[in-house]
Amino acid sequence: MANLDIKIREAELEDLELIVDFISQKSEFDGSKNQLRATADKLQQTLFCQPPLVRVLLAEVAGKAVGFALFNSSYSSLLTQPCLWLDDLFVQAPMRGMGVGTALLKYLAKIAESTNCGRIEWTVNTGNAPGIAFYEKQGARILENIRVCRIDGSAIAQLANK
């Protein structure tokens, strides 16, 4: 892993086109380009409304955005706690394996920890072996029966404080 200076920041209004481009790249990676309906206008309505329905983190290296995480709040009745749902995590191919994805997840874990979230959940394509290995390395359990990734309990604090 390279020793990069990775900066994570919350998206701003001027990032809308960049985020839509990342969503497009992610849909191509997932093989779901034909399902892409994202536009800057639609994203603005959900990302910058009050309260925001979704949040976006951008990962930057040398001032250039190289990855993003799109997430929202959820809730677990079993835990009776708020949770975070990670809808998208994407790092551009040349930057994979350099700590960018880890930095995004760590930042997300800090948000979860500071807001008393009981878990972070997301899905992963069963054919994405590198993605599955990456998530497991971060402390996620792959739930075989429903294919949801989960970081919960002490694993949130552990990741947030790595």
Amino acid identity for residue 28 in this structure:
E
Burial code (b: 16+ CB inside 10 Å, e: under 16) for 74-93 equals eeeeeeeeebbbbebbbbbe
User: Known catalytic residues?
Assistant: 135
Q: Please tell me the predicted confidence (pLDDT) of residue 2.
A: 60
Q: Please tell me the predicted confidence (pLDDT) of residue 150.
A: 79
| pLDDT, tens digit, 9 for 90 and up, residues 131-145 | 999 999 999 998 877
User: Is residue 159 classed as helix, strand or coil in its secondary structure?
Assistant: helix
Nearest to 122 by CA among 159, 160, 85: 85
| pLDDT, tens digit, 9 for 90 and up, residues 37-46 | 999 999 999 9
- Mean pLDDT, residues 89-95: 96
Question: Among all chains, which residue has been given the structure tokens 């309906």?
Answer: 37
Rounded to the nearest integer, the mean pLDDT of the chain is: 93
60 Rama sector, left if φ>0, alpha if ψ -120 to 50, beta otherwise: beta
- Mean pLDDT, residues 66-93: 97
Q: Assess contact for 138 and 102: CB atoms under 8 A.
A: yes
- Mean pLDDT, residues 117-131: 91
Question: Rounded CA gap, 128 and 133, in Å?
Answer: 9
Ramachandran angles phi, psi of 132, nearest 5°: -60, -45
Question: DSSP string spanning 11-35?
Answer: --GGGHHHHHHHHHHHHHHHT-GGG
Tell me the β-bridge partners of 90. Answer: 68
The DSSP bridge pattern shows strands 81-91 and 119-123 to be parallel
- Mean pLDDT, residues 69-74: 97
Per cent of the chain over pLDDT 70 is 97
Peptide bond into 130 cis (omega under 30): no
Q: Please tell me the predicted confidence (pLDDT) of residue 1.
A: 52
- Confidence check: pLDDT of 11 > 90: yes
- Mean pLDDT, residues 90-113: 96
- Confidence check: pLDDT of 17 > 90: yes
Tokens of 59: 């990962």
Tell me the β-bridge partners of 84. Answer: 73, 120
